[in-house]
Structure 1
Amino acid sequence: MSEKATIPLNELAKALFTINRHAKTAPQPQHLYYIKKESINRLLRENRAQKIGLHFSNHPKLSNQHSTLLVKVGDYFFHIPPSKEDFKQLKHLGTLDKQYRNPQVKMSLSQAKKTIYRYINWSPPKKRHTTARHNTSASFTPSSLGKMNGPPKKPRRSTRTHF
């Protein structure tokens, strides 16, 4: 049995909820949305999640209405981009029901990412440690131009008279 199969579905759903919540406010959410989509697609392939239908998006792209795929994972619902087959096979549910909310979760983003990384078997790329090269040579002599001091200044006389 693989390690990802040992992660309970409800724990994966909570991790996805946490990642999705943070992605909505992140300055650069691409990675969070990528791991969310990758996880949901794997859950769908493993029949641990189910496609419910299509919804109109609340955020149209360039003023054009588009649809998103509604997927159920455990007790949670998520939207991901649909495939062409989804439009042929699934019912369109119309506009999103704003009354419905997923259950709240108390999970940190770092814990959620660890759970999802373990499930999708993803590891961050290794960062290259680059050392800054200074273009100096043994024979380099810095210029003194612009660093010349003017003539020494005369000390200021005190205009106060002391009695």
Structure 2
Amino acid sequence: MNQKTHIPLNELARALFTINRHAKTAPEPKHLYYIKKESINLLLKEKRAEKIGLHFSNHPKFSNQHSTLLVKVGDYFFHIPPTKEDFKELKHLGELDKHYRNPPARMSLSQAKKIIYRHIDWKPPKQHSVTGSNARSKNYKSACFTPSSLGRIDWPPSKTRRSSRTRF
């Protein structure tokens, strides 16, 4: 039996909420938004989530107003990018209700990611690492290398030669 069926919907919703909250403040949120979207799309396919309607976004792209898809997962609501079919099939709800808040969820980001990874069956790409005592020395380069003048024959530097000009 698949591991995905063992994850309760409320636990998935709390994990999605935690990932979404962290993605809003992350310096590079691309991966977090990707796994959120993949998980919600999978929940929609499994009929465990429900499309509610379209909202105007609070953050217009390139000064153009655009819409986001409002999805209900358990007791939580999330926004994901809509498809062309969503515009044809769903009602536009207008502006986002700024007074609504999702219920609070206490979960660490690492735990939330584990739950979502298990749900979408995602595995991190394999990274080849160099092992052994020379691993660090082979790949390490200083960010600020200043060559030493010790051992140079022409130290201290002689006066620079200027073209001889006669001054009048």
Which category describes the TM-score, using the shorter chain as reference length? 0.7 to 0.9
RMSD: 2.0
5+ long unaligned stretches in structure 2: 141-147, 157-168
Question: Following the alignment from structure 1 to structure 2, what is the Cα–Cα distance between the partners of residues 17 and 112?
Answer: 9
Letter in 2 for 1:55: H
Deviation at 1:133, TM superposition (A): 6.4
Tell me if 1:99 matches 2:99: yes
* Letter of the structure 1 residue corresponding to residue 32 of structure 2: L
Partner Cα separation in structure 2 for residue 113 and residue 99 of structure 1: 28
> Identity of paired residues, percent?
74
Aligned to 1:7: 7
| TM superposition shift of 1:2 | 1.2
What is the DSSP-based 3-state SS (H/G/I as helix, E as strand, rest coil) of the residue aligned with 1:147?
coil
- The number of residue pairs the alignment matches comes to 142
Gaps of 5+ in 1: 135-143, 152-163
Q: Which runs of 4+ in 1 moved over 6 A?
A: none
What does 1:8-23 align with in structure 2 at a 5 Å threshold?
A: 8-23=8-23
2:151 to 134, 147, 154: 147
Shift of residue 123 of structure 1?
1.0
* Counterparts of 2:149 and 2:18, CA distance in 1: 59
Matching residue of 2:39: 39
Cα distance between partner residues in 2 of 1:65 and 1:119:
33
TM-score by length of 1: 0.82
Structure 1 residue 32: Cα displacement? 0.2
Q: Deviations over 1:54-75 (max 9, x none)?
A: 0000000010000000000000
Larger Rg computed on CA atoms: 1
Matches of 1:145 and 1:82 in 2, distance apart?
62
Distance 2:68 2:75 in 1: 19
For residues 16 and 44 of structure 1, the distance between their equivalents in structure 2, rounded to whole angstroms, comes to: 14
Match of 1:126 in 2: 126
Paired with 2:91 and 2:18, the residues of 1 have a C-alpha distance of 28
Q: Letter of the 1:65 partner, please give it.
A: Q
